[in-house]
């Protein structure tokens, strides 16, 4: 009997302990967990609000060199990447004459030769008659002038034949249109033709074949786009900081010099083209077409009291922070209205409401 009684008492005791433990456990679970926040101290800092425009660095002026005569590329004297001086020869074009034009030019030469021979014969007779004083000086001079005119026509016909056949005359070889020359000093960016390619001169129906593209790589600009929400806050003359990823994120100074008066639509957003003059050191080689980011400072606040923007609570037109009032035994805060100013997207300026000695509630600790 005693054994059964002991077992019964022990069982009741265990059940009671389990019940008490369950009650305590559930009570503890029902209690709200204490939230601990990071504490932030306001600090004096310089804030800048910036916008970033994406684009490319390219020469201000890129000149396309085109032939003044149609034909076939006979010789290429230069290639992309080489420096060239103004009037330096880049290529030579070999003229392929049109048969009808060539036949006409040859016929003109033959006719001019016949006229010269006849004029010489006539002048010989007139000259003898003049010596014999059988004709007047006026008739003699007219015959002499006619001979000279026919000789000039023969030379003009021969020059025309050389131009039609060869694209050049012996008397003007140094200014021949078959020699394609650079019109500026600069770097050859591209030579899109090869020896043997046909080229045509510019006309009303065609822009002509580009023999080479030449640019002054010492005069570079950044060309990019800026969103319409920020274009009203920029103006010509503003400093720009350029970052070129291909050059290990090197930065260069630039000056904004152009803002397009007309927007272009890009994926539903209105964008305005901007241009900035690049001030790059001579020791850095910049290639045309490098992608770049242009950072433009829209606003700046010097030595202002700032806190992380995540500490600020926005409610309508009002802003608040939670200032630490006690940390023992638990953190307690006072909701304090403040006046804010410029934000750089990470920190925000506090104009009034707290001081540098206050402690502000930050993010919740994990």
Output phi, psi for 109, to 5 deg: -65, -45
pLDDT tens track for 5-49? 666 676 667 766 666 666 655 655 555 566 788 889 999 999 988
How many of the other CB atoms lie within 10 Å of CB of 172?
A: 12
Instruction: Give the model's pLDDT for residue 167.
Output: 60
Q: 177, exposed or middle or buried, with CB in 10 Å at 0-12, 13-18, 19+?
A: middle
CA dist., res. 246 & res. 278, Å (int): 16
Q: What is the pLDDT of residue 175?
A: 45
Query: Residue 131's pLDDT is what?
Result: 85
The Cα–Cα gap between 155 and 279 comes to: 56
Instruction: Give the span between the Cα atoms of 137 and 106, in whole angstroms.
Output: 36
Distance separating the N- and C-terminal Cα atoms of the chain: 58
C-beta of residue 308 within 8 angstroms of C-beta of residue 350: no
Burial of 323-351, coded b for 16+ CB within 10 Å and e otherwise, reads: bbeeeeeebebeeeebebebbbeebbbbe
pLDDT of residue 268: 82
* Cα separation, 85 vs 188, whole angstroms: 10
* Model pTM score: 0.63
Give Cα separations from 114 to 33, 77, 119, 158, 359 (angstroms).
118, 42, 9, 13, 110
Euclidean distance between CA atoms 58 and 147, whole angstroms: 60
Q: What gap in Å lies between CA 258 and CA 221, rounded to an integer?
A: 10
Q: Nearest Cα to 177, choosing from 39, 70, 299, 37?
A: 70
Could you tell me the two tokens for 295? 């950072």
Residue 61 phi/psi, 5-degree rounding, is: -130, 120
Token pair for 217: 């790589």
C-beta of residue 79 within 8 angstroms of C-beta of residue 341: no
Low-confidence ranges of the chain (pLDDT < 50): 173-175
Segment 218-267, tens digit of pLDDT: 999 999 999 988 888 899 999 999 998 888 767 889 999 999 999 998 88
């Amino acid at each position: 009997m005693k054994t059964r009684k002991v077992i019964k008492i022990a069982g009741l005791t265990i059940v009671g302990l389990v019940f008490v433990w369950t009650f305590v456990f559930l009570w503890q679970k029902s209690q709200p967990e204490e939230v601990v926040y990071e504490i932030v101290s306001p600090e004096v800092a310089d804030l800048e609000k910036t916008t970033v425009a994406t684009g490319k660095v390219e020469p201000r002026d890129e000149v396309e060199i085109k032939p003044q005569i149609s034909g076939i590329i006979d010789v290429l004297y230069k290639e992309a990447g080489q420096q060239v001086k103004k009037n330096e020869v880049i290529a030579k074009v070999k003229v392929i004459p049109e048969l009808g034009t060539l036949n006409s030019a040859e016929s003109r030469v033959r006719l001019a030769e016949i006229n010269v021979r006849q004029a010489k014969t006539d002048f010989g007779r007139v000259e003898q008659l003049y010596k014999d004083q059988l004709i007047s000086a006026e008739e003699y001079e007219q015959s002499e002038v006619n001979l000279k005119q026919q000789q000039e026509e023969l030379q003009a016909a021969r020059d025309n034949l050389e131009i039609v056949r060869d694209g050049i005359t012996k008397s003007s070889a140094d200014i021949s249109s078959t020699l394609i020359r650079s019109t500026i000093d600069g770097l050859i960016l591209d030579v899109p033709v090869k020896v043997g390619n046909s080229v045509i001169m510019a006309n009303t129906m065609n822009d002509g074949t580009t023999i080479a593209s030449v640019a002054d790589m010492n005069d570079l600009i950044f060309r990019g786009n800026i969103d319409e929400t920020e274009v009203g806050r920029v103006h010509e003359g503003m400093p720009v900081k350029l970052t070129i990823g291909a050059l290990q994120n090197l930065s260069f100074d630039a000056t904004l010099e152009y803002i397009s008066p007309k927007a272009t639509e890009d994926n539903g957003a209105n964008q305005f083209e901007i241009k900035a003059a690049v001030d790059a050191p001579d020791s850095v080689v910049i290639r045309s077409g490098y992608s770049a980011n242009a950072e433009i400072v829209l606003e700046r606040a010097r030595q202002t009291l700032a806190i992380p923007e995540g500490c600020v609570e926005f409610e309508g037109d009002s802003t608040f922070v939670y200032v630490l009032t006690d940390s023992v035994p638990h953190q307690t805060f006072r909701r304090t209205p403040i006046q804010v100013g410029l934000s750089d997207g990470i920190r925000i300026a506090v104009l009034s409401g707290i001081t540098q000695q206050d402690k502000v509630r930050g993010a919740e600790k994990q």
